[in-house]
Amino acid sequence: VLTAISNSPGVVSRSQVEELSTIATGMFKRHSNGQMGMLRETFCTLCSTFGLLLEASSSRGIPNLPALVVEALRHAVLSSLNLPSRSDDQLLYALHFVKESYSYWLKNHEADPDVMEMREGLLELCENHILPSLQRFVEEVEEQDIVVGILEIFHLVLQQHDNQSVKFAGSLATSALFHLAFGCLGLYPSVQIKERVYLLLGLVAERLLGCENGKSISETAIDLPSDPLDLLFLLGQKSSNDSSLIRSQSAAFLILYMSSLYNAR
């Protein structure tokens, strides 16, 4: 099924999308509840298949599909986070399923009121389950790809500028996001993590303090230090004739200000 949908997404009918999504949701639910075992390969295939179904043009306008997506996501994520038998591969596929679902919402929410209602469930999943798990993953020094996947989801959610994204940004900030961000920078000294962390902090600043403030972080993400301790060193440098350094210092000051504002150390 996965191969057929991948090669020819246009041939999937509306009724097939509905039937396959209903079956997949039921399998995720039984697996999450412990009623059914599932091989790692099966779990990953289900996540990929559901994601591809959401990309098909025939998925639009199916009344019960948004509710199925939210239910399937919830069980897929919870099982990949909490089951003792879970693997990193399963969690990565579940996180990718979250991103595909949110992309589906972004493309269709304005034209479909049923899709519009998906977002509350997606945000609840991010805030109550994925965010608390990020702290555990950083403390346990999990695979970098897992941390990157979570940061990408939060970044995707915050790109929509509305009251819900402002509320989510506030939840991130008050849930030790800055402490976790500094932890990520210290534990994963890579360019990918550095850019992901600073781009996310920039969006949080945009939503909470205003667009222009946050842009100073996002636009200098590549120039900011990988070691958070070097933010203080950056502020101590003379910058009278270096516009790039001035922008980086402004971003560093804002990051440290917000971390102090939200009690990060």
Distance of alpha carbon 265 from alpha carbon 263, whole angstroms = 6
- The share of the chain scoring above pLDDT 70, in percent, equals 92
Q: How many CB atoms lie within 10 A of CB 85?
A: 9
- Number of Cβ within 10 Å of residue 57's Cβ equals 11
Tell me the two tokens of residue 198. Answer: 């600073």
Look at residue 208 and give its three-state secondary structure: helix
Predicted local confidence at residue 150, as pLDDT: 94
- In this prediction, the residues of the chain whose per-residue pLDDT falls under 50 are none
Q: What is the pLDDT of residue 171?
A: 94
Q: Could you give the angle at the alpha carbon of 55 between the alpha carbons of 53 and 56, nearest 5°?
A: 70
Between CA 253 and CA 125 the distance in angstroms is 32
Instruction: Return the closest-CA partner of residue 178 out of 135, 146, 219, 136.
Output: 135
Which class is domain 2-261? mainly alpha
Write down the pLDDT at residue 213. 75
Which pLDDT tens digit goes with each residue over 88-131? 889 999 999 999 999 999 999 888 888 888 999 999 999 999 99
